Amino acid sequence: MPEKMLHKYIAIALGLEEFDEEVFAEDVEKVVVKGQDELIIHFYDGQILTQKWQSSARTECWTPEARKKKSAYMKKNPRSSGTITCFTSKISCSKCGQNLRRNTSTRVSGEKARHWRCPPYNGCGHKGLEENLLKSISADVLNIEEFDETEFKDKIDRITVISNDELIFHLTDGSQTTRPWEAKVQQPAWSGERKKHQSKKMIQVWRDKHEQNKNK
């Protein structure tokens, strides 16, 4: 099966206007070509989808308008299972220009650690952005006590990683705001309360620093 045709029908199965390598890599575990007209698509979340690739039936019902509508919906409402979350395709690196990807590892304690990192081997030098810290900083930007996925999707358009200690949040109203973050060497797991306290402390230090600079 030609690669171009394979990409076309995978994009249809994912509800995208065109094939997106990043979404494919994060969402799809494997694709099996069955017979002369079927693709069996296995997702990391356990779903299995059969996609016809020679039959005209799918082409007739899956119009460009329908694909565009589905694509817009999926970008605004990404699934929060497996590797696809509300942060997917919303965090980009200012150096390499790529979207950060979600990586999951298991600590000695058994706790799952999730970090957002640039694609490997691109040489940009950014360290992993810990997901719980990202949620705390996002909550501060939104001026809410606890991180809310729906509020994040509605009010934050994207996040740019400027360096290993600075993020820019681009809001859907056209404004933007800068926040600090700190990449740490892996340490024993913190409690949720300690993570929240550290995030607030770091943000306050950053605010005090900027206030001093303004008054000089």
Q: Would the pLDDT of 55 be above 50?
A: no
Task: Write down the pLDDT at residue 81.
Answer: 44
**179: phi then psi, degrees, rounded to nearest 5:** -140, 150
- Using a pLDDT cut of 90, give the percent of the chain over it: 18
Mean pLDDT of 78-86: 59
Question: Would you call 168 helix, strand, or coil by DSSP?
Answer: strand
- Please tell me the distance from the alpha carbon of residue 80 to that of residue 26, in angstroms, as a whole number: 12
Residue-wise pLDDT for 191-216, tens only, equals 566 656 666 666 666 667 667 666 66
Query: What's the whole-model pTM score?
Result: 0.50
pLDDT at 95: 85
* Cα 43 to Cα 98: distance, rounded to the nearest angstrom: 23
pLDDT digits 0-9 by tens, 116-148: 888 766 667 677 888 999 999 999 999 999 999
Partnered with residue 156 across adjacent β-strands are 171
Q: Output the six-digit token pair for 61.
A: 């019902």
The Cβ of residue 88 has, within 10 Å, a number of other Cβ atoms equal to 22
Instruction: Tell me what pLDDT residue 98 has.
Output: 81
Do 132 and 116 contact (CB within 8 A), yes or no? Answer: no
Cα(53)–Cα(58) distance, integer angstroms:
8
**How high is the pLDDT of residue 40?**
86
Phi, psi of 164 (to 5 degrees): -80, 5
Q: Looking at residues 12-20, what average pLDDT do you find?
A: 74
